[in-house]
Amino acid sequence: MEAMTESGCFPANPTEDEMKQLAKSERLAIHISNVANLLLFAAKVYASIESQSLAVIASTLDSLLDLLSGLILWFTSHAMKKPNHYRYPIGKKRMQPVGIIVFASIMATLGLQILLESCRQLIAKKGPEMEKGQEKWMITIMVTVTAVKFLLMIYCRRFKNEIVRAYAQDHLFDVVTNSIGLVTAVLALRYYWWIDPTGAIIIALYTINTWAKTVIENVWSLIGRSAPPEFLAKLTYLIWNHHEEIKHIDTVRAYTFGNHYFVEVDIVLPGDMVLNKAHDIGEDLQEKLEQLPEVERAFVHIDFEFSHRPEHKSKV
């Protein structure tokens, strides 16, 4: 904040070329993830047919939904690249959390379905059956799929884009579910039949828990939740040191707007200051605040005193 106060710009702001290169890399990560999901799904369908393991089938159904959720995330990413300032004056940033909520809701629904089917198999006392050759093919496919997903997770985690990071979370989820599915299927074949539906129940509970948390996190980002005190303190420091003519800071608000914040600031300037100078101070402060990576939009209100009642009231 001190460096930004002195220079007037955020020290780590990327150049336009760097931003274009980053956007290109993010699109590549999304395309690679979608192609990998399609190929790995085909491999896991074969493994499911050969093994008849409920845990492996649960993992395969997860891959099927990966394709659907990937389509949802691709659509939101594509829609955000084409802003329409007449129909969407403040942009389409909130399409990111909306897409992720739809994605997560589908995944949680899958987990509930697998949970019910696993309980049914436990009641029926039914486990997987296969020959040695089929077991070998299943192990080879599942190990390969898990390894590829692990590499994709590491690759996607390099980015800060929320959609790419949603892919990273999904790849991590697949690593966990594939590992559990493989281990429980093999143990059920060699030891006890009930290990397989038990493994599927573990996958289902993990699915529901993981994606329910993701839904809650993104819902918070859509309903205008206040920024943490540490961020408000950072804004206050930046505002107070912006210009020597600022006599008082009346209000500093920051609240979620998708994955970033909207900021509202009320500052007090001398009452006899000429309009063009007051305007320049306020506009410079707005531009400075909007350079912060967490801020989507900033609004600066200029006043000459601070003893009045709040000017904006929430409608009940």
The CATH number of the domain holding residue 279 is: 3.30.70.1350
Helix, strand, coil content of the chain in percent (nearest 5): 65, 10, 25
pLDDT band with cut points at 50, 70 and 90 for residue 102: confident
Please compute the mean of the pLDDT values over residues 284-302 and round it to a whole number. Answer: 89
Q: With respect to residue 312, please indicate whether it lies within any of the assigned structural domains.
A: no
> Quick one: pLDDT at residue 147?
87
CA–CA gap between residue 170 and residue 214 (Å, rounded): 11
Q: Give me the long-range contacts of 112-115 (CB less than 8 A, separation at least 24).
A: 112/204, 112/208, 113/61, 113/204, 114/54, 114/58, 114/61, 114/200, 114/201, 114/203, 114/204, 114/207, 115/201, 115/204, 115/205, 115/208
What is the tens place of the pLDDT at every residue in 12-30? Answer: 555 566 666 767 777 777 7
CA–CA gap between residue 117 and residue 82 (Å, rounded): 42
Among 222, 237, 254, where does a domain finish?
A: 222
Averaged confidence pLDDT in the chain: 77
User: Is pLDDT of 248 > 60?
Assistant: yes
Please give the model's pTM, rounded to 2 decimal places: 0.57
Among 170, 205, 222, where does a domain finish?
A: 222
Q: Residue 252: which domain range?
A: 229-303
Q: With respect to residue 1, please indicate whether it lies within any of the assigned structural domains.
A: no
Q: Which amino acid is at 246?
A: I
Do 92 and 205 lie in one domain? The reply is yes
Do 163 and 191 lie in one domain? The reply is yes
> Quick one: pLDDT at residue 126?
64
> Quick one: pLDDT at residue 294?
85
Name every residue whose Cβ is closer than 8 Å to that of residue 313 and which is 6 or more positions away in sequence: none
pLDDT band with cut points at 50, 70 and 90 for residue 308: low
> Quick one: pLDDT at residue 158?
78
Do 200 and 242 lie in one domain? The reply is no
pLDDT band with cut points at 50, 70 and 90 for residue 316: low
Among 203, 222, 241, where does a domain finish?
A: 222
> Quick one: pLDDT at residue 284?
92
